[in-house]
A and B are shown apart, each in its own frame.
Chain A
Amino acid sequence: MSVMLTKFESKSNRVKGLAFHPTQPLLAAALHNGSVQLWNYRMGVLVDRFEEHEGPVRGVAIHPTRALLATGGDDSKIKVWDIRPQNRRCLFTLHGHLDYVRTVQFHHEMPWILSASDDQTIRIWNSTSRNCIAVLTGHSHYVMSAQFHPKEDLIVSASMDQTVRVWDISTLRKTSPNTSGPGGMSNTNSGGFETFDSFSTVKHVLEGHDRGVNFAVFHPTLPLIISAADDRVVKIWRMSETKAWEVDSCRGHFNNVSSALFHPKHELIVSCGEDKTVRVWDLTKRTAIQTFRREQDRFWVLASHPNLNLFAAGHDSGLIVFKLERERPAFSVHQDTLYYVRDKYVRSFDFGTGSDIGLLSVRKFGSPYMPPRTLSFNPAERAVLLTISSDNGLYELSTLPQQAQGEVKDSGAEGKRASGQSAIFVARNRFAVLNKTAQLIEVRDLSNSVVKSIKAPVQTNEIFYGGTACLILSSTSSVVLYDIQQQKTIAEINSPPVKYVIWSADGQLVALMSKHTIMIANKTFSQHSLIHETIRIKSGAWDDSGVFIYSTLNHVKYCLSQGDHGVICTLDNPVYLTRVKGKTIYCLDRSARPRTITFDPTEYRFKLALLKHNYEEMLYIIKTSTLMGQSIIAYLQQKGFPEIALHFVQETNTRFELAIECGNLDVAMETAKTIDRPECWDKLAQQALKQGNHKVVEKAYQMTKNFDKLSFLYLATGSTEKLSKMQKIADARGDPMSRFHNALYTGDVEGRIATLRDVGLHPLAYLTAKTNGYEELATEILEAAGLTEADIDDVPDFGPSTLKPPPVITPTTDLNWPLVPAGENFFDRALANGTLEGIEPSTYANGDAGAGAASSALDAWAREEEVQDEVVDEGGWELDADAGEFQSAQDDEEPDAVSDESELGAGAAPGVDETELWVRNSPLAVDHVAAGSFESATQLLNRQFGVVNFAPLKPLFLSVYRASHVYISPVASLPPLQIHVRRNPSESAPSRVLPVAARSLQSIRAELSEGYRSVAGNRLAEAQMTFRSVLHALILVAISSDDEAKEWRETVTSAREYLLGVSIELERRRVAEQEPDNVKRNLELAAYFAHCQLQPLHLQIALRSAIGVFSRVNNHTHAALFARRLLDLNPDARIAAQARQRIAAGERNPRNAIDITYDEHTTFDICAASYTPIYKGTQAVRCPYTDASFLPQYAGQLDPLTQLTEIGAAASGLPAAW
């Protein structure tokens, strides 16, 4: 045996204890520095750390079924931990040992913890009652280890007293059948050990080691014990009911042996020691099989996984996890048969019938402990070529019997063998063998004689079949396709070392698999795509449709030839895929037993169809598959087929939402009918209104009986006929408001008058009649009210009314004006029509019929309203209004889609410029700027923020525009192509593309901070410029969420406050310099500056400046006021002291020498133009952008802060574009 496969290594302090988790890939390691680590050895990550022990931790154990960890350390404590990540903590500590605790172990079924200690005792603890329930005494020196027997009530212990002892604890189980220990236990705990001795007896004392024994353990099934001792020997002991005796010793370690274990499955012993080696021994022959040596590190502990072929060893500077033999079975697939090796027998497995038979024994081939590594099958000769790693690499060529015989023969008799690291069939009668040391590839015939010898063109580690007369050579950094006949390299691809090569069934594609990558290449290697996996890749097989299915340690995945990949299912344990057929994956498990996994290939088949634009197949999948997850919908949306995604959703509500989202009114309509809830109809109405499909709007309003909106819609579409019907309905409903509206909309003056009269509004009725020239009616009303003309001669004459509805210019009623382009493709049409055949023109009802249906609906409705007491049967009229109009809508769109077909060549009309899309997709000025649509951008800025002075924004406009377009010349001598830079590179749907955000809110905020620094550094002119430029930039920034909008508003506000404050302070300095006599103004400005909303740090500066100015002119009261505010900000001690002085001065001298306009008791804003206070409750106008306040007389002037906006202009504010 020459392999010891390291699976994982970690670097740490010395490892003294190790324990595998029974089901998860976790390993606990106890370290000499007091820490206990929990590693995920499969992912190679440190999962957790437990650090409460003082001093080294030696013993560690994981509970066989529960999430518990026990540790024992040199602090004489045993701790039990909950290792679930969410409740990770120390549950309890067991006190009792008086010296180092060496090992701990959980019992496999009882709630017991076993511990061995340097206090010469072994203790058993009940983990439920947390009491010590037994103390085993007898050893006369440190007890180095104690282990339960895996089945029987026995314990084996090893001690520095050079003995190994076996203890019988059956009485313990009898006396404490329950989980809790005897009640008096804790009382007697302090008394002494004698009490417990009755529970356990020493059964055997094994003497034979010449030095202290470090470790002893039972064989899982046989009555055997092995022990490891400082006399450098591993001893094997046998025991019976009555006695135990030494069987043999394994000699070879040249220093203390620290630990030894039985292999859980094979007849092997693994030991490790301070001679820096791990050794493997044959249990039956007691001979050394393998030695693994480390240069620096002494080994201290070994652990084996309870179920898997996995070991761990701890050493001076960390730990290693390793396997003793490869698990990957050697196999080869030919047509419907799998040829593979299990337990050193070549077997065949028929995928069709499931028959699995042994064909040939290869027991004598290579090391008996090692399975063959590869198998290559030659169907013509029915021969197999096996390789094995033992003896430095061997291959064997033998023929398989035609049929399974009664007795399986051994290959040893006639097999042809020679040395070689890699061997495969390359033709019917040829095979190639790699000799790695000589870097020679020999081509041999079936009689094993060399016919050709080739020097490998690159350092080759392994060879694979490369297609006809070709080999694939795997080198450390590349993979080479090599033609044997021409002796020429055809292609070379850079790649990590390739370990397995799988050809697709048609030989067109090949998967080259390394540890963490899969490269899918075509047969000439001219095209390839690479997939990375963080988890180790184990195996793979091709699906019939050309999809590669592969397995990693914990997943089965698929990948398409262009590199798209996804998960099919998860695995508890690795499997080796052999074949994929339909919905079945055939594989071999770790013990080389054939298994199958059934899976759902729909997802990748669908993606494949999408990739190949095979719409028929897609349609078929959509129709037949029942389950389509969220992921496929997301995938479709991402790939730019949101409309298609719609067809996967069965659930009506989601379907409705999706349809609304992509503006598919047909589907929305259909689903809305099923859901039939007012909210849905409202939403549908809104969306349809947006798309201008008023017929759908009409229907939706009808469904929700939204009479008001319906009437208005009819008014807007100029549908007078329907309006009059609405009027009738309103009459029937007896709703005067509705009657009035409809009368108004139809221009029916008499109707209006009648309504007004009916509700008793005689004066209005009279006036309406009068002003519309209905003199008789007016008189009638007057009479009815019991009045005469004379009574109302104080009513002024209003003259004739001109109020009437506008005339209908375009008969919009019969037209739909779809604003959203109908980008229908094959697929849409097919899906909309439900069948592929549906592409053929089907008979549609024409537009008039649709309109007729709608109006007949109204008739029905009107009738229905008349008979009010009857139960309202909505279905009655719904039937009439149903399909017709929607089909007609579809009819309108159809010709567009068709005419859009092929127009390649000279007639190609220019398409929609992306900038137009940007303008269409965004209400933000900045996006219009980026699109170069300055006209609409300025309009937006004017409307949204009242901007009137654009000059300062010019550089921003130009730089935003410039940043959104990039030029590239892909073809020589042609003018470069202008490409538009998008905000979200993963969004390519025309209805959602937006220009790149030239300036981010973040970068502007950074600039704002720069302004802050200028303020702190007293560079006020600079700060003023910075704040102004920040405000300019903020008006052209792309906002995409409510949170961002909030942040934006905050930024605008603080920039505005600082700009105001800085401007005030600059003005104060100007006053101080140019008008030194104007002390009053100077003081006022200082006071106002201190009132701006600044950050505490800057507010302190403002306050200190104010204090200085005020105290200098003996305005002590005011100065004290500012000083108090300064103190509230917890300034530096020195400043605080000064402030207190000022307060004291103010108290001594409660006077203000100069009277100023400053009322500290009333809240005020500061007018940003005059720098005077606007007290709460007085009138103010505001900047439509920054919301800065101004005195009313400044309305209509330019905002002096930003110099952009008109003060007091009406503005709509930032639109929500998201």
Chain B
Amino acid sequence: MDSYHVKQQFFLGAYRALADMKLPDQSSADFHSMLLYKARAFLALDDPKAALQVIGEDDENVTLRAVRALSKYTSVKEDTEKEAALEELRDLALEIEGEDSEHSEKDKAFVRVLAATAFVRAGETEEALETLGTDTEDLEAVALLVQIYLSINRPDLAKKQFERSKKWAEDDLLLQLIESNIGLVTGKDAYSNPLSFYTEQLANPSLTSPHVLTSRGITRILRNEIQEAQSDLDESLKEQPGDAETLAALCIAGTLGAMKPRETEELWSDFCSKHPDHPSVVDVAIKSNLFDQVVAKYTVPPIPAA
């Protein structure tokens, strides 16, 4: 695999393939960047230990240090430890800003992206936005920015950021992905852009990523094409059994009529027990409590005795 494909796979969520990838020779020009992607793939798979193992002990390189800090951040549980990892990233972000810093623009952007990722995870949206800046010419940073804007319900800003990046970015796969992400939220033209993007990527012979299938399945849910969505999701599950995102989406497709209610409920409770931390599970639990609270305001009159 050459670095071009590695990048594409990473963006399209083929993390498993990257994690399993064999790194080229240390002397190869691509070695460093591929190493980083491999480590980040482990991180994306929520396996920070493996990521730490991959990057080794090198302390010189700022990018490796960033990866290490992010890995630490995701692996530790204690708030103090997390805060320490965040501080480390903050320091790194400062270090690269220095007047006399010798780091290349690419490395700087890389560090900022990782730092911002951690900030978002810590809920520090504003800090993440500040770190990334608005004038970045790094598409990964733009992807991050756009998702942040989308998550705070500002698709208008996301679009603006995207339009700006179109001016300097070549028509990259990542750029298309960003556009497609915006389309998912705004629902413009009945989600035709994301749908065709994912469909195109599925037809791409040099790439296979079940994540793309899942994404298309989700897009189809949004398009109310429930049966088609189910088939995409089922197929994706065949390639990556137990994938949380796919299962969560399948539950939704099921509730919307793809499956019988009982099957759906079984799937959902199974999902809840296996992925108690998935945001949908957490969210529904919150709503369940909310329901009880709200309902408590009503007094239920007696049922008439027959």
Contact stretch, chosen from A169-177, A541-549, A967-975, A1015-1023 = A967-975
Query: Contacts of B215 on A, CB cut-off 8 Å?
Result: 968, 970
Contact indicator B302/A910 (Cβ below 8 Å):
no
Do B222 and A979 have beta carbons less than 8 Å apart? yes
Interface residue B294 (Cβ < 8 Å from any Cβ of A) = yes
Q: Is B3 an interface position by the 8 A CB rule?
A: no
| Chain A proximity of B93: nearest CB distance (Å) | 14
Taken together as a complex, chains A and B put the C-alpha atoms of A957 and B255 apart, in Å, by 12
Minimal Cβ-Cβ distance residue in B for A1206: B301
Residue in A981, A988, A999, A1003 whose CB lies within 8 Å of B252? A981
By a CB distance below 8 angstroms, the chain A residues around B134 are 904-905
When the two chains form their complex, are residues A985 and B223 in contact, meaning their CB atoms are under 8 A apart?
Answer: yes
Closest to A900 in B: B156
Give the segment of B24-32, B53-61, B104-112, B186-194 that binds chain A: B186-194
B154 close to A977 (CB less than 8 A): no
Digit string of A1052-1081 for contact with B (CB within 8 Å is 1, else 0)? 000000000000000100000000000000
Given contacts A962-B280, A970-B177, A1197-B302, contact A910 B143 (CB under 8 A): no
Q: A residues 946-972 with Cβ under 8 Å of B?
A: 948-951, 954, 957-959, 961-963, 965-972
Partner of A966, one of B221, B290, B306: B221
| Interface membership of A1159, Cβ < 8 A | no
Q: Which of B83-91, B94-102, B144-152, B234-242 contacts A (4 or more CB under 8 A)?
A: B144-152
Within 96-128 of A, Cβ neighbours of B (below 8 Å) are at none
Q: A905-B129, A974-B121 are known contacts. Are A993 and B249 too (CB-CB below 8 A)?
A: no
| Cβ–Cβ contact B129 & A965, under 8 A | no
Out of B117, B222, B287, name the residue touching A982 (CB < 8 Å): B222
Q: Which of A904, A948, A958 contacts B298 (CB 8 A)?
A: A948
Which residue on B lies nearest to A1190, using beta carbons? B304
B119-162: CB near A (< 8 Å → 1, else 0) gives 01100001101100110000000011001011111111100110
Task: Give Cα A971 to B149, complex, Å.
Answer: 13
Closest to B257 in A: A1003
CA distance A985 to B279 in the complex (A): 24
Binary contact readout B199-229 vs A (1 if CB under 8 angstroms, 0 otherwise): 0000100000000001100100111100000
> Among the listed stretches A1-9, A81-89, A930-938, which one makes contact with chain B, having 4 or more residues with CB under 8 Å of it?
A930-938
Name the segment of A295-303, A366-374, A911-919 touching the other chain.
Answer: A911-919
Q: How far is the CB of A987 from chain B (nearest CB, A)?
A: 8
Asked if A1170 CB lies within 8 Å of chain B CBs, one says yes
Contact A963 B153, CB 8 Å, known A958-B291, A968-B245, A1206-B301: no
Q: Which residues of A contact B43 (CB under 8 A)?
A: 972-973
A1038 to chain B, nearest CB (A): 12
Task: Verify B191–A935 contact, CB threshold 8 A.
Answer: no
CA distance A435 to B177 in the complex (A): 42
In the assembled complex, B40 has its CB within 8 A of some CB on chain A: yes
* Residues in B neighbouring A527, C-beta threshold 8 A: 171
> Are B144's CB and A979's CB within 8 A?
no
Number of A-B contacts (CB under 8 A): 215
Residue of A nearest to B18 (CB): A972
Instruction: Tell me if A's interface is mostly helix, strand, loop or mixed.
Output: loop
A334 at interface, CB cutoff 8 A: no
Interface residues as binary, B237-275 with A (CB distance below 8 Å gives 1, 0 otherwise): 000000001001101100111000100110010000000
B304 adjacent to A1198 (CB under 8 Å) = yes
On chain A, the residues within 8 Å of B157 by CB distance are 903-904, 908
> In the bound complex, what is the Cα–Cα distance between A954 and B241 (angstroms)?
31
- Which range holds the interface residue count of chain B? 35 or more
Q: How many whole Å from B220's CB to the nearest CB in chain A?
A: 10
- In contact, B222 and A1198 (Cβ under 8 angstroms): no
Q: Is the CB of B295 within 8 A of A938?
A: yes
Given contacts A968-B184, A976-B245, contact A1200 B306 (CB under 8 A): yes
Contact A966–B249 (Cβ < 8 Å):
yes
- Is the Cβ of B255 less than 8 Å from the Cβ of A963? yes
Quick one: closest A residue to B214, CB to CB? A968
| Chain B residue contacts of A526, Cβ below 8 A | 171
**What B residues does A1206 contact at CB under 8 A?**
301
Q: Which residue of B lies closest to A951 (CB)?
A: B295
> Which chain A residues lie closer than 8 Å to B160 at the CB level?
902, 904
Does B144 contact A971, Cβ atoms closer than 8 Å? Answer: yes
Residue of B nearest to A969 (CB): B245
State whether A978 and B222 are in contact (beta carbons under 8 Å apart), knowing that A950-B291, A971-B144, A998-B256 are contacts in the complex: no
CB of B70 within 8 Å of the partner chain = yes
Most buried by A among B129, B144, B181, B222: B222
Question: Which residue from A911, A963, A979, A993 sits with its C-beta under 8 Å from B154?
Answer: A911
The yes or no answer to A640 lying at the interface (CB within 8 A) is yes
Does any Cβ of A come within 8 Å of B22's Cβ? no
Q: Are B306 and A934 in contact (CB under 8 A)?
A: no
Tell me the residues in window 445-473 of chain A with beta carbons closer than 8 Å to chain B beta carbons.
none
8 Å CB contact of A1198 from B156, B190, B278, B301: B301
Q: Would you call A809 an interface residue if the criterion is a C-beta within 8 Å of the partner chain's C-beta atoms?
A: no
Q: Mark B164-195, 1 if CB is under 8 A from A, else 0.
A: 00000001000001001100111111110000
Q: Is A1115 an interface residue (CB 8 A)?
A: no
CB-CB under 8 A from B120, the residues of chain A are: 974-975
A306, chain B: closest CB distance, angstroms:
46
B89 CB to closest chain A CB (Å) equals 13
| B284: chain A residues within 8 A (beta carbon) | 958, 961-962
Asked if A948 and B223 make an inter-chain contact with CB atoms under 8 angstroms apart, the answer reads: no
**Binary CB contact string for chain B from 22 to 50 against chain A (1 if under 8 A, 0 otherwise):** 00000000000000000011011000000
A contact residues around B2 at 8 Å (CB): none
Q: From B149, which residue of chain A is reached at the shortest CB distance?
A: A908
Once the chains are docked, how many angstroms separate the CA of A112 from the CA of B83? 101
Most buried by B among A961, A970, A977, A1067: A970
Tell me if A996 is interfacial: C-beta within 8 Å of chain B: yes
Q: For B280, what are the chain A residues with a Cβ–Cβ distance below 8 Å?
A: 962, 965, 967
Q: Does A340 contact B (CB under 8 A)?
A: no
Q: Give min CB distance, A1123 to chain B, whole Å.
A: 29
A1198 touches B302 (CB 8 A): yes
Task: Tell me which residues across on chain A come within 8 A of B127, comparing CB atoms.
Answer: 906
Decide: A948 near B300, CB < 8 A? Known: A906-B129, A985-B191: yes
A908-B157, A979-B222 in contact; A973/B255 too (CB < 8 A)? Answer: no
Given the complex of chains A and B, what is the CA–CA distance between A909 and B10 in angstroms?
A: 30
Q: B283 interface residue, CB < 8 Å from A?
A: yes
Residues of A within 8 A of B15 (CB): 972
In the complex formed, the residue of A with least CB distance to B215 is A968
Cβ of A960 to closest chain B Cβ, rounded Å = 8
Q: What's the nearest-Cβ distance from chain B to residue A239, in Å?
A: 66
Q: How far is the CB of A28 from chain B (nearest CB, A)?
A: 43
Could you tell me the distance in whole angstroms from the C-beta of A1088 to the nearest C-beta in chain B?
A: 13
Chain B residues with CB under 8 Å of A1196's CB are 301
Which chain A residues lie closer than 8 Å to B121 at the CB level? Answer: 973-975
| Residues of chain A at the chain B interface (Cβ within 8 Å) | 494, 526-527, 639-640, 902-914, 932, 934-935, 938, 942, 948-951, 954, 957-959, 961-963, 965-979, 981-988, 993, 996, 998-1000, 1003, 1067, 1169-1171, 1190, 1194, 1196-1198, 1200, 1203, 1206-1207
Given contacts A951-B295, A958-B288, 14 further A-B contacts (CB under 8 A): A902-B160, A911-B153, A957-B291, A962-B251, A962-B255, A963-B252, A966-B221, A968-B215, A971-B143, A972-B41, A998-B255, A1067-B306, A1197-B302, A1207-B304
- Please give me the 5 A-B residue pairs with the lowest Cβ-Cβ distance, nearest first: A911-B153, A963-B255, A972-B44, A1169-B304, A906-B130
> Mind listing 21 A-B residue pairs with CB under 8 Å?
A526-B171, A527-B171, A911-B156, A951-B300, A957-B287, A962-B268, A968-B245, A970-B215, A972-B43, A973-B74, A977-B147, A977-B150, A977-B151, A978-B151, A978-B279, A981-B221, A982-B187, A985-B224, A988-B189, A996-B224, A999-B257
Q: List residues of chain B with CB under 8 Å of any chain A CB.
A: 10, 13, 15, 40-41, 43-44, 70, 74, 117, 120-121, 126-127, 129-130, 133-134, 143-144, 147, 149-157, 160-161, 171, 177, 180-181, 184-191, 203, 214-215, 218, 221-224, 245, 248-249, 251-252, 255-257, 261, 264-265, 268, 278-280, 283-284, 287-288, 290-291, 294-295, 297-304, 306
